[in-house]
């Protein structure tokens, strides 16, 4: 059914739930599991915790990249705990939805798994803006996890 699964991951609670679902599917179907992560300005906040002051200056590019590495390491650890590993971890720059769609196209994914809402506060209104954009733009099946 599915042989190449791409997990769009930002480290949020919904993304962690999506990772568990993707890992379970990959294991059950003996499918390749890839990770797509696009560090954003919000990424250091999830790494530092919820008590980071909103009045602090924006993180530097280096801080965003380092936080992105931490998120990928977290995902690898959670995947290992679930008994799977990522074939490749794709880390990009720019807009997460476009990066996820480009990764899916490049690897020939037949399923994209993602959390319904991520780190963005504005995007948390119903279905996150990234998951909505990926669902509309994907050329393969999409699974959105709460």
60 contacts: CB under 8 Å, gap ≥ 6: none
Backbone φ and ψ of 33, nearest 5°: -120, 125
Residue 44 lies in a domain: no
Residue 46 lies in a domain: no
Report residue 59 as tokens. 């993180």
Q: Which domain holds residue 76?
A: 1-34+65-84+97-141
DSSP string over 109-135: -SEEEEESS-S-SGGGGSS-HHHHHHH
Mean pLDDT of 29-48: 82
> The dihedral of CA 103, 105, 111, 115: what is its sign?
positive
Picking from 20-29, 69-78, 101-110, 115-124, which range would have the lowest pLDDT averaged per residue? 115-124
Q: Is the pLDDT of residue 108 over 90?
A: yes
Q: The domain spanning residue 134 has which CATH number?
A: 3.40.50.620
Contact of 140 with 104, CB cutoff 8 Å: yes
- Percentage of the chain exceeding pLDDT 70: 82
Dist CA 29 CA 49 (whole Å):
35
Residue 109 lies in a domain: yes
Q: What is the pLDDT of residue 117?
A: 76
Q: What is the pLDDT of residue 52?
A: 57
Structural domain total, the chain? 1
Residue 45 lies in a domain: no
Report residue 66 as tokens. 């380092």
Residue 57 lies in a domain: no
Residue 134 lies in a domain: yes
Dist CA 129 CA 116 (whole Å):
9
């Amino acid at each position: 059914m599915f042989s190449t699964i791409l997990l769009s991951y930002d480290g949020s609670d919904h993304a962690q739930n999506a990772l568990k679902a993707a890992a379970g599917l990959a294991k059950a179907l003996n499918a390749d599991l890839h990770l797509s992560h696009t560090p954003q300005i919000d990424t250091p906040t999830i790494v530092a915790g919820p008590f980071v002051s909103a009045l602090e200056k924006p993180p530097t590019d280096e801080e965003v990249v380092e936080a992105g590495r931490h998120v990928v390491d977290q995902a690898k650890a959670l995947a290992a705990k679930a008994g799977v590993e990522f074939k490749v971890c794709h880390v990009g720059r720019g807009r997460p939805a476009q990066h996820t769609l480009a990764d899916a196209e490049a690897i020939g994914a037949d399923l994209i798994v993602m959390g319904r809402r991520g780190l963005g506060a504005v995007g948390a209104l119903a279905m996150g803006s990234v998951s909505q954009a990926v669902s509309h733009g994907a050329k393969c099946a999409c699974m959105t996890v709460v």
